[in-house]
Amino acid sequence: MQLFLDTTDTAVLRDLVSTGLVDGVTTNPTLIAKSGRPMLEVIAEICALTEGPVSAEVAAVDAKTMVAEGTKLAAVAPNVVVKVPLTREGLVATGEFARQGIQTNVTLCFSAAQALMAAKAGATFVSPFIGRLDDHGADGMELIHEIRAIYDNYGFDTEILAASVRNPAHVTAAALAGADCATIPPSVFLDLFKHPLTDKGLEQFLSDWAKTGQSIL
What pLDDT score was predicted for residue 189?
Answer: 98
Does the annotation mark 194 as catalytic? no
DSSP state of 158: P
For 60-98, what is each residue's pLDDT tens digit?
999 999 999 999 999 999 999 999 999 999 999 999 999
For 137-179, what is each residue's pLDDT tens digit?
999 999 999 999 999 999 999 999 999 999 999 999 999 999 9
Q: Which of 34, 83, 194, 211 is catalytic?
A: 83
Q: What percent of the chain shows pLDDT beyond 90?
A: 100
What pLDDT score was predicted for residue 176?
Answer: 98
Q: What is the CATH number of domain 2-212?
A: 3.20.20.70
Distance between CA atoms of 103 and 132, rounded to whole angstroms? 25
Mean pLDDT, rounded, for 104-113: 98
Band (pLDDT 50/70/90 cuts) for residue 109 is very high
Q: What residue ranges do the domains of the chain occupy?
A: 2-212
The 10 Å Cβ neighbour count of residue 206 is 10
What phi, psi does 127 have (nearest 5°)? Answer: -115, 95
Band (pLDDT 50/70/90 cuts) for residue 108 is very high
What pLDDT score was predicted for residue 33?
Answer: 93
DSSP state of 215: -
pTM: 0.95
Q: Which helix (H) or strand (E) holds 128?
A: strand 125-128
Distance between CA atoms of 32 and 80, rounded to whole angstroms? 15
